[in-house]
Structure 1
Amino acid sequence: MRCLSKEHKLKLSKSLKGIKPWNKGLTKLSDNRMKIISEKVSKTLTGRKLSKQHKENISKGGKGTKRPLVSNKWRERQSLSHMGNKPSEQTKEKMSKSAIIRISKRSNGKFKNTKPERLVQSVLSVNHIEYETHKSIYGIPDIFIKPNICIFIDGCYFHGCKKCHSKQVLSGIIPTKQIKRDILVNKKLKLLDYDVFRFWEHDVLNNVYDLIKGELKFV
């Protein structure tokens, strides 16, 4: 690769000042040329493996830098670009493995069953339905029933129940953050072909049997 001198780089920089790049503000969704370029680059990089030295250089280069704030516009673009794309079985497996690693680091793989969770589990057990608790997949459902049913029992405060708490209470940092996360978890799990059920803590405590019978038709 040709190495340019500092003087040469400075001249290039000055000559390009004020010139607007042709692709500024364009994406593969809005411009066909960008789509073609994106596909070509993707094909070129598919299967390419980075050397150990290259990975170390990337790691060193990123140390000490803070991740920039992500705008809502960027999130929308990302959402649109993934819409309609279903991940392959290999991708699902990778996502599952990475989730397991995150879980083990965060909590040593130990989770405590809450009272509402135990009540739902008891109804399933009485009806001879096999289940797993806190399965190591995205979102970590409280209860998982094979092949693809994810059940979450949401605490009324932490997950933002409008029946139990006022707008003022739910505008706090914890509920606000968790509500956004729950929406994201639902979207991602549905994208991975899981059926998602969410039950409020107060509904479970009031009448768990009728709730489960009504929502889970197979019980």
Structure 2
Amino acid sequence: MDTRRPTRAANEGTRKSMRSNKGRDTRPELAIRRRVHAAGLRYRVCARPLPGLRRTADLVFTRLKVAVFVDGCFWHGCPRHHTKAATNAGYWAEKVRVNRARDADTNARLSEQGWRVVRVWEHEDPDAAAARVIAEVRALR
């Protein structure tokens, strides 16, 4: 099921701004990775936990079956920080709804296969988020 829809930018400035959003190596992701790595844990970056599923986790501990996702507040509908788009509001509301449904589906599919899923919001304190990841991984060792 392909849920992707063509993006219709309101104007060229918006289009350029949206194209510049990174899919990996974001500031929150890098901050968490640094702390987890400093704790002596090794992981794969931007990897698919399940080979047949087109879903990519930000950190993957393959042997222990732990997948970490660092979710952006706007893109994934953070209950604390998500804001409604001023332009093209209907499109973006649907986009976030689809993202959240896909996140829930990803969690369920990974859990069914014995994976543990850690979801981190981009606004979370990197030390606290890394501590959650470290605790999850060490609990399985």
Give me the TM-score of the superposition, normalised by structure 1: 0.44
Matches within 5 A, 1:33-48: none
Q: 1:192 to 1:214 in 2, by over 3 A?
A: closer
Q: 1:148 aligns with which of 62, 65, 72?
A: 65
Residue 211 of structure 1 and its aligned partner are, at CA, apart by 2.6
Do the aligned partners of 2:59 and 2:68 also contact (CA within 8 Å) in 1? yes
For the residue of structure 2 that corresponds to 1:142, the secondary structure is strand
Q: 1:215 to 1:125 in 2, by over 3 A?
A: closer
1:161 and 1:153 map into 2 onto residues whose CA distance is 12
| Superposed structure 1 runs of 4+ greater than 3 Å apart | 168-171
1:193 and 2:111 are equivalent in the alignment: no
Q: Which residue of 1 aligns with 2:42?
A: 130
For the residue of structure 2 that corresponds to 1:134, the secondary structure is strand
Give me the TM-score of the superposition, normalised by structure 2: 0.66
How many residues end up aligned between the 2 structures?
106
Q: 1:199 to 1:112 in 2, by over 3 A?
A: closer
Structure 1: 5+ residue runs without aligned partners?
1-66, 68-110
Q: 1:185 to 1:124 in 2, by over 3 A?
A: same
**Letter matched to residue 143 of structure 1:** L
1:192 and 1:154 map into 2 onto residues whose CA distance is 22
1:130 and 1:165 map into 2 onto residues whose CA distance is 32
1:211 and 2:129 are equivalent in the alignment: yes
Structure 2: 5+ residue runs without aligned partners?
2-22
Q: 1:197 to 1:173 in 2, by over 3 A?
A: same
Residue 125 of structure 1 and its aligned partner are, at CA, apart by 1.1
**Letter matched to residue 106 of structure 2:** V
Residue 128 of structure 1 and its aligned partner are, at CA, apart by 1.0
For the residue of structure 2 that corresponds to 1:202, the secondary structure is coil
Q: Which has the larger helix fraction?
A: 1
Q: Which structure has more RCO (C-alpha within 8 Å, separation ≥ 6)?
A: 2
Residue 120 of structure 1 and its aligned partner are, at CA, apart by 1.1
Residue 215 of structure 1 and its aligned partner are, at CA, apart by 5.2
Name the Cα RMSD after superposition.
2.3
